[in-house]
Amino acid sequence: MPQSASVSTFRDTNSARDLLVSLFRRNETVLLLCLVVLIAYFSFASGSFFTVRNITNVLGQASLAMIAGIGVGVLIIAGEIDVSIGSLAGAVAIPLVVIMNHGGSLELGIAGALALALLVGAINGYLAAYLGINSLIVTLGSMFVIRGGIYLYTGQKAIPDKQGLESFYQIGNGRLFGTVPYPALVALALLIGFMYLMRHRPFGRKIYAVGGNPEVARLAGFNVKRIKFLCFIISALLAGIAGILLSSRLGSAVHVAGLGFEFQVVAAVVLGGVSLAGGVGSLFGVALGVLILSFLSNGLGMLNLATEWQLVTTGAIIIAAVGFDEMKRRRQ
Amino acid sequence: MPADLTMSAPIATSYAGPALEMTGIGKRFPGVLALENVDLTLEPGKVHALMGENGAGKSTLIKILAGVYQKDAGSMRIGGAETAFKTPRDALRQGVKVVFQEIALISEFTVAENIFLEEYPTDAVGSIRWTTIRKDAAALFERIGFGVDPAAKVGNLPVSQQQMVEIARALAHRARIVVMDEPTSSLTPKEVDLLFAVIRRLTGLGIAVLYVTHKLDEVFEIADTVTVLRDGRHISTKPIAAHSHDSLIQDMIGRRIENLFPRSRGPARGETILSVEGLSTSKLKDIAFEAKAGEVLGFFGLMGAGRTELAKAIVGFDPIRTGRITIGGKRLAPHDTRTGVSLGIGLLTEDRKSEGLMLELPVLQNTSLAALGNFARSGFVDEGSERSAVQEFVDRFRVKTPSLNQPIKNLSGGNQQKVLLARWLMRGLKVIVVDEPTRGIDVGAKSEIFALIDRLAGEGLAVVMMTSEMPELLGLSDRIAVMAEGRITKILNRDEATQEAILNAAIG
């Protein structure tokens, strides 16, 4: 082959125009732009939107979905899904609050909560990854089982936190320097950690490979089942963390906590550009998806749009965004 | 596998003999002897072509080399040492890389990342060294002269470049033997030239190349030695200079095939039912032919000739670019199976499992599917008349099933095929297109399917049969259309069709 052929097909990445074009092809750039436009619009439309108080409030609320979204994002990239996270986020509050009510420390309560999450993740992962049962079915099933278990244990009532530990209140409601909510810091730390994992650790790349083409991954010698299993564990643990923070915000173990949370999270993940087919998407995109939905809901509320219409708007935006993305992909 | 890409040459060995020696290789599948006593020797730095008709055993042999299948008999030596592969990883570890037609790359990853998929280079804390990956991949490509951008996403590359990435991946793993399975089947002539340049580079590095194909011209251009297989047996191994086109074809075909399928019907004298003019799609070019009532029109072509594409285009399953398809004088709306079915054309697909059958459903529903309208009584299916109609066909076609309620997945391939035929005939067809009607069906059931096709033509249907099997083509067809690279190269009458004439037209 002539040497010139190899030179001519190389992309000239030095050109600023090409760089811009490739930047705008990136899903994340478009999402970031949408977020900026959204915030700008609401800032003009409502005087109380762009205030430190409101923005940090939204960040605090968004962080729970972001924490769980990271886990679900990882799992969807691996080609599986987990819709039991809402029930699980509700369920972990029970060991947490019960342990504290029996005189246990916050740390012990958290350990109990995470142990429950680990157990659920392992069961989901074993059934889906090792026994090969469709993960939507498995986790849909465990979503009902867990919720049923919560109702059975609590008798459909909230279990109040009787000990009233300050530290328990602080993890969900406290703010660093009185401004940045702790849950937002947790979400940020997890986001950075998992972005690093997915981009710079062989394990993260294997997750993409397994979701993108399991057959090729198997031929390359990856343990596909084990990788998927571990992704179920990740998803469950992060849902557990979200559940702990939620419980702190509610000040108790509420039997209906986390109802519908799973679909909010899946919607944000998909809006963030993660393909349900697996192997495609980024956690940065997931974070942007969560922020867009959170600011949207907050902003529409400030414009006094009825909750009913907020739901309709949010749903339409998700379909439009994913549809747009799909059409863009097909054109390429 | 070390990620040392500064080495462009394969692992140096002191061993001076052949890169690979396979002797007496045998492989048996239930009911079939796929390979019997096959020998193959690959020399370093040489291109060895492996030829044979469909079903000659080429694929089985290379799957053994790839570690996908395990041999039942014979010995395999690499660099003089006896070996056997249990998994594809084993083959790769011992320096054998098979580039299959289906590309095994992660399409969302970059070219460079795909090359290091098996083992990412990492630093002290276990982070991936992306710069190393980019630099080493670029250096590797520069050295072997591949015109592929290491930063490009594999999914955005044409197949030819994806193939090169696979070859580069082989070199990164220091493969000593590279096997290419029909590598040119989806390449343009220009890309074929590029591929040949790459192959010459490989041999220049002392790598042994096994080139699997049935395209004669390519073999004469690139190969040093040719081995021909036929019916799972080793026929000949000769230097290419000792072969002519005719002698190679002779080796591939061997004996004359007897007419195994006596026909009951006389010559077709019906009127034209199906007519296709100027049909082109992304894969087909300017196809024109007619099929008469009561005739079997056979279509032959080697892999990638476009038979399945043609079958799907004329029944309206796939979109077409230009062309006109008429059935019984009425024009078929392109890319619309509904009008196709109502005009009376049906397709028996090549892939029964994924495109024909609803595996979990019983024989009853699978048979009546296309004709449900016949049994509708005010919007509901009248199961009584459905059952009796299906039973009639099941009896007529001698479908072996314990009952109509039996899930179709429990039936043999031959009986499944009969159900699919019945499905279309219940609808009252004028034209039936059958694509590889006997694929995966055992010999006994084959002749039953042949008899059925013969009878359908005898009853006045036009049968368009796509096949890659010479015996059924010659045995059943009234006329034979030969395809190569998306065109009809020749239409032969029954009396002028010989294997040589057909194969010559198929090679194009």
Which pLDDT tens digit goes with each residue over B117-133? 888 889 988 899 999 99
B421-B425-B430-B435 Cα dihedral, nearest 10 degrees = -10
Which structural domain range is residue A108 located in? 67-264
Interface of A with B (CB under 8 A): 1, 3, 5-11, 13, 196, 200-202, 205, 208-209, 212-213, 215-217, 219-221, 279-280, 332
Domain membership of residue A298 (yes or no) is: no
A95-A96-A97-A100 Cα dihedral, nearest 10 degrees = 110
Query: Is a pLDDT exceeding 60 seen at residue B258?
Result: no
Q: What is the ipTM of this complex?
A: 0.80
Check residue A7 and give its pLDDT: 35
Tokens of B168: 């580069």
Check residue A331 and give its pLDDT: 66
- Write the burial class of residue B237 (CB in 10 Å: 0-12 exposed, 13-18 middle, 19+ buried): middle
Question: Which of A224-238, B209-223, B414-428 is predicted most confidently?
Answer: A224-238
Query: Is a pLDDT exceeding 60 seen at residue B82?
Result: yes
What average pLDDT does this structure show over B445-454?
Answer: 80
Residues in A touching B156 (Cβ below 8 Å): 332
Check residue A52 and give its pLDDT: 85
For the whole model, what pTM was predicted? 0.72
Domain membership of residue A46 (yes or no) is: no
Domain membership of residue A121 (yes or no) is: yes
Domain membership of residue A176 (yes or no) is: yes
| Across A267-271, B283-287, B315-319, B468-472, least confident range | B468-472
Tokens of A239: 């849902």
| Across A20-34, B174-188, B289-303, B418-432, least confident range | A20-34
Check residue B2 and give its pLDDT: 41
C-beta atoms of A202 and B122 within 8 A: yes
Domain membership of residue A315 (yes or no) is: no
Segment holding B236, helix H or strand E: strand B233-239
Residues in B touching A27 (Cβ below 8 Å): none
Percent of chain A with pLDDT over 90: 53
- Average confidence score pLDDT of chain B: 83
What average pLDDT does this structure show over B156-166?
Answer: 82
Q: What is the per-residue burial (b if ≥16 Cβ within 10 Å, else e) of B463-472?
A: bbbbbbbbbb
**A246 with A95: CB under 8 angstroms?**
no
Tokens of B298: 């056979």
- Write the burial class of residue B427 (CB in 10 Å: 0-12 exposed, 13-18 middle, 19+ buried): buried
DSSP code of residue B213 = -
C-beta atoms of B109 and A209 within 8 A: yes
More confident residue, B340 or B61: B61
Percent of chain B with pLDDT over 90: 16
Chain A: residue nearest B105 by CA?
Answer: A216
Query: Is a pLDDT exceeding 80 seen at residue B199?
Result: yes
Q: Annotate B316-375 with three-state secondary structure.
A: CCCCCCEEEEEECCEECCCCCHHHHHHHCEEEECCCHHHHHCCCCCEHHHHHHHHHHHHH
Which residues, listed in sequence order, are joined to residue B434 by a DSSP beta bridge? Answer: B348, B465
Query: Is a pLDDT exceeding 70 seen at residue A25?
Result: no
What average pLDDT does this structure show over A122-149?
Answer: 94
pLDDT tens for A247-258 read 999 989 898 999
Check residue A11 and give its pLDDT: 44
Interface of B with A (CB under 8 A): 88-89, 104-109, 113, 117-118, 120, 122, 126-128, 130, 141-142, 145-149, 151-152, 156, 194, 197-198, 201
Return d(Cα B59, Cα B27) in angstroms, integer: 12
Tell me the C-alpha to C-alpha distance, in Å, between residue B132 and each of A198, B5, B138, B338, B497: 18, 10, 10, 56, 60
| Across A115-129, A316-330, B206-220, B292-306, least confident range | A316-330
Binned at pLDDT 50, 70 and 90, residue B14 comes out as low
Check residue B440 and give its pLDDT: 66
- Average confidence score pLDDT of chain A: 88
Binned at pLDDT 50, 70 and 90, residue B201 comes out as confident
Closest by CA to B164, choosing from B188, B138, B136, B145, is: B145
Return d(Cα B159, Cα B156) in angstroms, integer: 9
Domain membership of residue A286 (yes or no) is: no
Query: Is a pLDDT exceeding 70 seen at residue B164?
Result: yes
What average pLDDT does this structure show over B390-399?
Answer: 86
**B310 with B485: CB under 8 angstroms?**
no
Residues in A touching B3 (Cβ below 8 Å): none
Residues in A touching B167 (Cβ below 8 Å): none
B25 C-beta neighbours (distance < 10 Å), count: 24
Check residue B173 and give its pLDDT: 77
Query: Is a pLDDT exceeding 80 seen at residue A182?
Result: yes
| Overall number of domains in chain A | 1
Q: At what angle do helices A135-154 and A106-125 cross, to 10 degrees?
A: 140
Check residue B259 and give its pLDDT: 47
What average pLDDT does this structure show over A56-72?
Answer: 94
DSSP code of residue B105 = S
DSSP helix/strand/coil, A259: coil
pLDDT tens for B202-214 read 898 889 999 998 7
What average pLDDT does this structure show over B298-315?
Answer: 86
C-beta atoms of B107 and A212 within 8 A: yes
| Across A222-226, B251-255, B434-438, least confident range | B251-255
**CB contacts < 8 Å between A and B, how many?**
71
**Helical H runs in A83-223?**
85-91, 93-101, 106-125, 135-154, 166-173, 182-200, 202-212, 214-219
Half-sphere exposure of A315 (CA within 13 A, CB side): 7
Domain membership of residue A322 (yes or no) is: no
Domain membership of residue A331 (yes or no) is: no
Percent of chain B with pLDDT over 70: 92
* Candidate from B108, B109, B146 with C-beta closest to A6: B146
C-beta atoms of A201 and B105 within 8 A: no
Tokens of A42: 């609401």
Tell how strand B177-181 and strand B96-99 pair up: parallel
